[in-house]
Amino acid sequence: MSDTILAVIITAGLSLVGTIITVVFSNKSTLAALKEESKLSDAKLDAKLEKHQAVTDTKIEELTRKVEKHNNLIERTYKLEGAMQEVQHDIRDMKNTQH
C-alpha cells in the first residue's frame, strides 16, 4: 500500500478512537451533571442515561459506518491505481510494437 493510503487509513482510525474517547468522557460528565443539578430519582436518572446512551451508540455506529465506507473507497482507489498502471504499460507496449 502506498504511504498516502496508509496515512489516510491511520488518520481515519485515530479519528474514530478520539471520537469514542470524547463520547465516553462526555457521558461521564453528563451523568455527573444530571445527578447534581436535577436530583432525580435513580429510576428517572437511569431512564435518561439509557436514552443518552442510545443516542451515543447510534452516533458511534453511524461514524463507524462512515469510516468503513471511507476505508472501502481507499481500497478501491488503490486497486484502480494498480489497474491504471497496467493499462499505461499496455499502451506503451502497443505503441512500441507499432513502430
Mean pLDDT of 70-91: 92
* Confidence check: pLDDT of 68 > 60: yes
Residue that has been written with the C-alpha cell 499502451 in this structure: 91
Question: What single string gives the DSSP state of each residue in 25-70?
Answer: HHHHHHHHHHHHHH---HHHHHHHHHHHHHHHHHHHHHHHHHHHHH
Q: What's the pTM? A: 0.46
How many domains does the structure of the chain reveal?
1
7-33 mean pLDDT = 85
Determine what percent of the chain is predicted with pLDDT higher than 90: 38
pLDDT at residue number 40? 57
Q: What domain range is 15 assigned to?
A: 3-98
pLDDT at 87 (0 to 100): 93
For residue 6, give the nearest of 62, 83, 59, 77 by alpha carbon.
Answer: 77
Q: Which of 36, 31, 23 has its CA nearest to residue 49? A: 31
> Which amino acid belongs to residue 26?
S
Helix (H, G, I), strand (E, B) or coil at 1: coil
